[in-house]
Structure 1
Amino acid sequence: MISRPPAASSESPTPGCLKKQKAASLVLYVALVLLALWVVRDFIAVVAWAGVIAIALWPLLRRVEGSRWFSGRTTLIAALLTLAIALLVVLPVGVGIAQALREARDLSDWFRTAQDNGIAMPGLIERLPFGAQQISTWWQTNLAAPLRESPAMKGLHSTTVMTLGRHVGERVAHSVMVFAFMLVALFVIFQAGPRLSGSILKGVRRGFGDDGARLVEHMAAAVRGTVSGLVVVGIGEGALLGIAYFVTGLPHAALLGLVTAIAAMLPFCAPITFGLAALWLFAQGSVAAAIGLAVFGSVVVFIAEHFVRPVLIGNSTRLPFLLVLFGILGGAETFGLLGLFIGPALMTVLMVLWTDLVQ
């Protein structure tokens, strides 16, 4: 007698069973996504930086792809753009290191002399309107005597210097590795080209509808406008203060202008550079030049940071001045340097949601 296999059940899953399956699938998807993010947690910031740069250069990428000379040469375009970004970072750093190496011998001779004879106190300190006595007493105790016997130098033991050097070396090596991985990620994003942007928008539309895709486009515009505002304002501040450095007679005015431009791309960092330059002029006895540089730099930075930069970013994102300022400062305080771009993007989302709510 031949046994027949049991007939397949024709019963369909109940609605309650389907809901449980969907809930279980959702939990599984969320768990897998969180696990994947945990695995690559050390590279999230790297990919985020690459994404910010790619968003800022996306219009340029599309324009180059549309030219007949580069049509269909996606890999070449990605390589050229990535190389350009690398050179924009490496060249200023290389120039600064080369200049520092040129000055290393003079600095070493000066330090050797200071160890043997101490550092003479500038005569300007005695003419200060206040605090002259306290500064003079501290200087005579710590710096006027040979630095080998100075209390200020006794704490700088060889082990302390070696530990500090090791920490600095580790940070430099880590920064170089992060930059290298960022360039690799940037090359992959550029190489993916329009396929990547199309896939992202398609996925967002499927998951969140047209409103979600619109939010993503507004966030991309906010990031692009923020990058443009930071770079344009930084270059402008660096150029104006570079001219001021040249007029006041500072050495290496062009290099100082380049350093100031890089610092000015970060909000409220330019005062550090021109402030140190003004202190150097003051120490050399050029009191009028130091005061003029400090006043001119303060005016330039005040106008650029409080008016020009928010207007440039606000016009591209249609954000009010206050939201732009809160986005830049709050984002930098919460997420660090990356928050300079995340903050305005989040403020843009907030503005879009508010507009949709009141309309």
Structure 2
Amino acid sequence: MTETQRSTLSACFSLAIILCALFVTQRFVLPLLWAAILCIATWPLYRRALRLTGNREILSAALVTLLAALVFITPLALGVIQAAHQAPALAQLVAKTNTDGLAAPEWLLRIPMAGDAIYNWWQATLGQPHGLAHLLQDGSVGRMQSASEVLKRVGSGVLHRLIDVAFAFLCLFFFYKDGHALQSQTHAIGAHLIGAQRWALYSLKVPTAVRATVNGLVLVGLAEGVLLGIGYQFAGVPSAVLWAAATCVLAIIPFGAPLAFGAVAALLLFQGNASAAAAIVALGVVVLFVADHFVRPTVIGNATKLPFLAVLLGILGGVETLGLIGLFVGPVVMTLFVTLWHEEKRFRHAGTRDAAG
């Protein structure tokens, strides 16, 4: 057997092992990715904890994991508690609307061009007794046979999500604890595959892109939700805390915040409070404009040295392809692509200089 054949066989053997490992652990790939993203984003905090605890790895990993769990789980728990408190009232409202019908508001007639059509459609559907049930009978809600089936499906989904969250934070603890060994092994494998100099260039880009994306998407989105939540409170929005929590979640996704404050404005308008609805829309537009045109491009683009279009394509393309985790994977992929683009330009320029010399 020649050396080339032996190298090819060795590469196929290694690839087969990797594919088998992915097949066996496919159910937990997503929690592992979340844990890796959290670990990379908060690694400087773990290093600071190591210094404060005298390089006690287990204690530092446990403290930072607990802190991360508190930061990420507490808002989610508050939102779930608020939703649970509001669920009976919402269920009663839906039941009453379905039983008695919901009269169309008069302001629909003032909408230019389409107002009459919307008003007539509302009266023919939602305005009639059991109109909501007829409207939803062809959808998934209409196919639910009983309340127990609904509770079973919702409970099963919540249980799976809780398992994923618990496993992600368990993995996060071990990523902190064994982080230095993982880094050393990853660097050794990367340098062996693509060369030490090239690996050093790419390996520095990934943590920067992840931290910039977390800061630019998550933290800015949470800030948007807090600011708009304060506006909801002053405007007298029912369940302002729940709407603020929903805005925080949607604001993390580009173009998601308008869905939240638009729904709040529609609720206020339906209640006859047109001035408060206009104020919420104005506040949302200002907050969104500042965040999307100044803060996010500055935080993400300056840190990763990416053009704004590349940032936007990475975020939107990642969400479209991979779901929520694509918010973080997309910008990392675009960062690596732009790095490759500049690297190829440097190679071409170097080749041109050598030829001229």
TM-score > 0.5 by shorter chain? yes
Is 1:198 paired with 2:181?
Answer: no
Deviations 1:10-42 (A, max 9, x none): xxxxxx633332322222222222222222222
1:102 paired residue number: 85
Return the alpha-carbon distance in structure 1 between the equivalents of residues 109 and 312 of structure 2.
Answer: 42
2:319 paired residue number: 332
SS at match of 1:82: helix
* Higher mean displacement: 146-155 or 103-112: 146-155
Is 1:152 paired with 2:152?
Answer: no
Residues 150 and 234 of structure 1, relative CA distance in 2, 3 Å threshold: closer
Say whether the 8 Å CA contact 1:263–1:273 is kept in structure 2. yes
2:205 paired residue number: 218
2:120 paired residue number: 137
- Matched ranges for 1:40-51 at <5 A: 40-51=25-36
Instruction: Name the amino acid aligned to 2:177.
Output: Q
Residues 200 and 288 of structure 1, relative CA distance in 2, 3 Å threshold: same
Residues 94 and 204 of structure 1, relative CA distance in 2, 3 Å threshold: same
- Matched ranges for 1:315-330 at <5 A: 315-330=302-317
Residues 72 and 294 of structure 1, relative CA distance in 2, 3 Å threshold: same
Shift of 1:116: 4.5
Instruction: Name the amino acid aligned to 1:182.
Output: A
Residues 336 and 102 of structure 1, relative CA distance in 2, 3 Å threshold: closer
Which residue of the other structure, out of 282, 288, 295, is the alignment partner of 1:295? 282
Return the alpha-carbon distance in structure 2 between the equivalents of residues 154 and 47 of structure 1.
Answer: 39
1:177 paired residue number: 163
Return the alpha-carbon distance in structure 1 between the equivalents of residues 135 and 344 of structure 2.
Answer: 62
SS at match of 1:288: helix
1:342 paired residue number: 329
- Matched ranges for 1:54-65 at <5 A: 54-65=39-50
1:284 paired residue number: 271
| Paired residues, number | 342
Return the alpha-carbon distance in structure 1 between the equivalents of residues 305 and 14 of structure 2.
Answer: 36
2:250 paired residue number: 263
Return the alpha-carbon distance in structure 1 between the equivalents of residues 243 and 133 of structure 2.
Answer: 32
* Higher mean displacement: 133-142 or 190-199: 133-142
Shift of 1:204: 2.0
SS at match of 1:159: coil
SS at match of 2:208: helix
Larger radius of gyration: 1
Is 1:81 paired with 2:64?
Answer: yes
CA RMSD, Structure 1 to Structure 2 (Å): 2.6
Residues 323 and 107 of structure 1, relative CA distance in 2, 3 Å threshold: closer
Shift of 1:255: 4.1
1:35 paired residue number: 20
Instruction: Name the amino acid aligned to 1:305.
Output: D
Shift of 1:59: 0.9
* Higher mean displacement: 277-286 or 226-235: 226-235
Say whether the 8 Å CA contact 1:331–1:342 is kept in structure 2. yes
SS at match of 2:127: coil
Unaligned 5+ runs, structure 1: 1-15
Return the alpha-carbon distance in structure 2 between the equivalents of residues 36 and 158 of structure 1.
Answer: 38
Return the alpha-carbon distance in structure 2 between the equivalents of residues 157 and 201 of structure 1.
Answer: 53
Unaligned 5+ runs, structure 2: 347-357
Say whether the 8 Å CA contact 1:117–1:147 is kept in structure 2. yes
- Matched ranges for 1:297-312 at <5 A: 297-312=284-299
Say whether the 8 Å CA contact 1:143–1:150 is kept in structure 2. no
Return the alpha-carbon distance in structure 2 between the equivalents of residues 32 and 112 of structure 1.
Answer: 55
1:25 paired residue number: 10
Deviations 1:260-289 (A, max 9, x none): 223212222111211110110010011122
Residues 65 and 124 of structure 1, relative CA distance in 2, 3 Å threshold: same
Shift of 1:249: 2.1
Residues 137 and 64 of structure 1, relative CA distance in 2, 3 Å threshold: same
Say whether the 8 Å CA contact 2:97–2:132 is kept in structure 1. no
- Percent identical: 37
Residues 87 and 22 of structure 1, relative CA distance in 2, 3 Å threshold: same
Which residue of the other structure, out of 215, 228, 231, is the alignment partner of 1:244? 231
Shift of 1:65: 0.7
* Higher mean displacement: 110-119 or 218-227: 110-119
Shift of 1:50: 0.8
Deviations 1:51-80 (A, max 9, x none): 11100001111111122xx12322222222
2:351 paired residue number: none
* Higher mean displacement: 153-162 or 136-145: 153-162
* Higher mean displacement: 112-121 or 210-219: 112-121
Residues 149 and 315 of structure 1, relative CA distance in 2, 3 Å threshold: closer
